[in-house]
A and B are shown apart, each in its own frame.
Chain A
Amino acid sequence: MIYGDKNTGVIVQGATGRQGSFHINLMNEYARSVGGRGVVAGVTPGRGGQEVQGVPVYNTVKEALAEHDASASVLFVPARAAGDSIMEAASAGLELVVAITEHIPVHDAMRAIAYAHYCGCAVIGPNCPGLLSPGEQKLGIMPAHLASRGRVGVISRSGTLTYEVVDELTRAGIGQSTVVGIGGDPVIGQTFSDVLARFEEDPETDAVVVIGEVGGNLEEEGVRSTDLPLVAYIAGVTAPPNKRMGHAGAIIEGGEGDAGSKIRRLKDLGVPVASRPSEIPEFVRELL
Chain B
Amino acid sequence: MKLLEYEAKQIFSEEGIRVPRGVLVGRDDSLPPVTDTIGDSVVVKAQVDVGGRGKAGGVLMADAGTLGETARNLLSAEIKGVPVLKVLIEERLPIEHEYYVSITIDRSKKETVILFADTGGVDIEETARTNPDAIRSVGICPLLPDIPGFLQRELCGSAPAEVRDAVNRLYHVFCAKDALLAEINPLVTTPQGVYAADAKLIIDDNSLARQGITVNRDLTEREKEAEKHGFSYVELDGTIGVIGNGAGLTMATLDLIDHFRGRAANFLDVGGGADQERVCHAVRLVAGMPAVEVVIVNLLGGITRCDEVARGIIAADIPQPVIVRMAGTNEEEGKRLLAERGYRMLGSMDEAVRAAVEATE
Contacts and interface: CB of A to CB of B under 8 A. Distances in A.
B103 interface: yes
A246 B248 contact: no
Interface string B260-303: 00001000000111000000000000000000000000011111
A107 B302 contact: no
Nearest to B351: A278
Contacts of B257: 238
B215 interface: no
B254 interface: yes
Contacts of B141: 114
Given A19-B303, A247-B183, A159 B272 contact: yes
Interface string B100-117: 001111111011110100
Nearest to A112: B142
A163 B348 contact: no
A161 B103 CA distance: 32
- Which one of B124, B185, B256, B264 has the highest number of Cβ atoms from chain A below 10 Å of its Cβ? B256
Given A107-B142, A217-B108, A246 B202 contact: yes
A142 to B, nearest CB: 6
Interface in A115-166: 115, 118, 129, 141-143, 146, 156-164
Contacts of A211: 248
Nearest to A191: B108
Interface residues of B, number: 65
Interface in A243-264: 243-252
A138 to B, nearest CB: 11
A255 to B, nearest CB: 10
B276 to A, nearest CB: 13
- Which one of B104, B135, B327, B349 has the highest number of Cβ atoms from chain A below 10 Å of its Cβ? B104
Interface residues of A, number: 68
Interface stretch (A8-16, A39-47, A98-106): A98-106
A204 B18 CA distance: 60
A277 B252 CA distance: 8
B54 interface: no
Nearest to B264: A238
B346 interface: no
Interface in A211-246: 211, 213-218, 221, 235-240, 243-246
Contact of B302 (A113, A143, A186, A218): A143
Ordered nearest first, which 3 A-B pairs have the shortest CB separation? A158-B248, A160-B246, A161-B248
